[in-house]
Chain A
Amino acid sequence: MNMQEARDMVKALRSIDTPAPDGLADSVMAAVGLVDSWTRIDGPIGPLYVAWGSSGITAAEPARDAAGFETEYELRHGRSLRRVAEMPEQLLRQVRKRFEGRHTDGPAVDLAVLTDFEQAVLRKTMEIPFGEVRPYSWVAREIGRPRAVRAVGSALAGNPITFIIPCHRVVRADGHIGNYGAGGPEAKRKVLTLEGIDTSALERLAAGRVRYAGSDSTMIYCYPSCRHARRITANHEVRFHTALEAQTAGYRPCKSCRPLESTPDAA
């Protein structure tokens, strides 16, 4: 082999190098958490824009102008956002399960941009079962801040991951369905109805100042939407206006829905 052939060989070897495919850089940026991704999915009552990063879902809101969504996201999170065709399969499966009321511990949510208090409110709200509602005061009590009922309301109003974190399942104790950022009270009523809740019946109960339902066979009292309360037959159902009334009558609070014990419920 002469010099020319040697040079040709080096050239030929250099030419078999293969450039990285388009998209490698994007997937690396997403994997290391320098870029978050978002896409449009079907939500319970309409299309949603959902964003996620390497630690979980970061945002979900009713679809609107895409550029505005991206700009606000980048300002709020300090990370850029790229639109992708689909959510990772596992994440999407968990979101669907949640929307359909099937059991799932997921999806992971990344609430790092919020205060500790806001995070506690939203994580607690994620525990409210599909098809049930709790008052704001319940969330406040559960997170160990029983007097912070108003602050709970503000934290829920700022829920960045609507529908996936079911802030629609938190209602006012006085029977009003309460405010709802993701489309107003009508949207809240609609999504609760889809979960099987008779919102008019709940409002009628609350208007009659009924807060709890008990069973005279088990001597347990619940929130009326608790799955255990809904199993109580009409001839065994006892209605209570306050927790004190139920306890005085010898009833104990349900361990599943954990109704407030004896403090008066604020709105």
Chain B
Amino acid sequence: MCTDCPAQLAGDLDGTFPLFLAHHQDLVYGIALRSTKRPSDAEDLAQEAFMRAYRALAGYDPARIRELHPRGWLAAIVGNLSRDHAKRRAPATTELDMVADRPDTSSPGPERVAEQRETARLWRERLDALPLRYRRAVGLRHVSGLSYPELAEALERPLGTVKSDVHRGVRLLRESIDEEAR
């Protein structure tokens, strides 16, 4: 996925930026949405994150851009913005259901859609119930699909710490499922 992006960005920022954006917009938006819960706030945050990324790239020298790991770097940018945003206002919890309204092109029957939606809602609730530290680590690893080195960069923590945070978070999730089953 976009392995050549940094090299191409270093050579032609404006020409490559649309591709960079297309490759990473889901990652950035997903992180923002898990933090803000409101699609409109998430869109604003994602836009702000990409603007900061663009301005940073415009100021970096080509050697520095080539060294970038875009996913970890972007996750750190949007993660920091999300934290600032959360400090400014309490997150909403009511608009989550709007999130699943995107039309599915495989068009399963309405019952199947309702079921998928319900399952997704359940997992979001379970994830949200985790302490912030584990919620963030599990979200980046298992929802966004970042690698551990990317996670370490995104959270600005040592590799060993983020691994143990993910494992601990997954264990807490399992416990919550066992709890529900009882």
Contacts and interface: CB of A to CB of B under 8 A. Distances in A.
A9 interface: yes
A31 B25 contact: no
Q: Which of B22, B46, B127, B178 has the most CB of A within 10 A?
A: B46
A2 to B, nearest CB: 11
Given A9-B173, A19-B29, A20-B25, A34 B51 contact: no
Contact of A19 (B21, B26, B119, B123): B26
Interface stretch (A21-29, A41-49, A88-96): A21-29
A32 B54 contact: yes
Nearest to A19: B26
B39 interface: yes
With a 10 A CB-CB cut-off, give which of A24, A27, A32 has the most chain B CB atoms.
A32
B178 A12 contact: no
Interface string A1-42: 100011001101111111111001101110110100000000
A14 B145 contact: yes
Contacts of A27: 43, 47
A63 to B, nearest CB: 29
Nearest to B49: A28
A28 B143 CA distance: 24
B30 A24 contact: no
B59 interface: no
Contacts of A10: 142
Given A16-B120, A16-B124, A16-B143, A24 B51 contact: no
Contacts of B123: 12-13, 15-16
Contact of A28 (B30, B47, B99, B174): B47
Contacts of A13: 123, 127, 138, 142-143
A21 B33 CA distance: 11
Given A1-B174, A1-B177, A29-B18, A17 B51 contact: no
Interface string B149-176: 0000000000000000000001001100
Residue of A13, A27, A34 with most partner-chain B CB within 10 A:
A13
B143 A20 contact: no
A213 B26 CA distance: 66
Interface in B25-64: 25-26, 28-30, 33, 39, 43, 46-47, 50-51, 54-55
A24 B17 contact: no
Given A9-B174, A32-B51, A18 B33 contact: yes
Given A9-B174, A20-B46, A34-B18, 6 more contacts: A9-B170, A13-B123, A16-B123, A20-B30, A29-B18, A34-B14
16 contacts: A6-B174, A9-B170, A9-B177, A13-B123, A13-B142, A14-B143, A15-B119, A15-B123, A16-B120, A17-B143, A17-B145, A20-B29, A21-B39, A27-B43, A28-B46, A32-B54
Interface of B: 14, 17-18, 21-22, 25-26, 28-30, 33, 39, 43, 46-47, 50-51, 54-55, 99-100, 102, 116, 119-120, 123-124, 127, 138, 142-145, 170, 173-174, 177-178
